[in-house]
Amino acid sequence: MAVRPIITDPGAPEVRAKAKRVSRIDETIRTILDDMVDTMRAAPGVGLAAPQIGIPLRLIVIEYEGRLFRLVNPEISKATGSETDEEGCLSVPNWQGPVTRATSLIVKGRDRDGREVRVKVEDWLARIFQHECDHLDGTLFVDRVVDRSALHWVDPNEDAGDAAEGKRRRRRAAAIAVAPGE
Ligand code: ZN
């Protein structure tokens, strides 16, 4: 278990490449998934895709409202509904913008043990899944913002909003926690 460095350059080839499907879920894959969870929690964030730590494989982790997902080869189907809300990304630090996403979807894939998984997710959790699956195709939220001029910089010391991958309260708590040592 280890925290790995997150690529914070939205133009980096690693975050722009299409990730490859995982053919076999072995110890190496399980270690990457575990490290991704550590890295996501340390950021802190609510989701992370393998390309964000420089690994070109279709792996995502999500933790939201007490539910932890570690998915291999995730695929979205039956996406319905539409909602526009502010989104952010650990690989595009301090930027946010409005993105339109489906509000309900089915996600299929395999879990850490190789078992088939099929989950129905809604609202903010559905947004996170769409954001993370986009990463596997080299797509970032900045490519999907409704209006480029609506992209805006957010002071990391102020309310960041409940944007995907970066949550307001956790981010503020982390900022407070590191302040005395700086
Ligand atoms: Zn992201």
| Pairing outcome for strands 104-110 and 92-101 | unpaired
Render pLDDT for 59-69 as a digit per residue (tens, 0 to 9). 999 999 999 99
Name the catalytic one among 63, 87, 132, 165: 132
Instruction: Identify whether 158 is a catalytic site residue.
Output: no
Instruction: Note if the bond before 93 is cis, omega within 30 degrees.
Output: no
Angle at 46 between CA 105 and CA 176, to 5 degrees: 155
Token pair of 64, please?
Answer: 């939201």
Neighbours of ion ligand 1 (CB under 5 A): 89, 165
Ranges of beta strands (E only) in the chain are 47-49, 59-64, 67-80, 83-89, 92-101, 104-110, 116-122, 152-153
Q: Tell me the fold of 13-175.
A: Peptide Deformylase (3.90.45)
Predicted local confidence at residue 70, as pLDDT: 98
Query: Which mean pLDDT values do the consecutive 10-residue runs of the chain (182 residues) have?
Result: 94 97 98 98 96 98 96 97 95 93 98 97 97 98 90 74 54 34 28
Predicted local confidence at residue 161, as pLDDT: 54
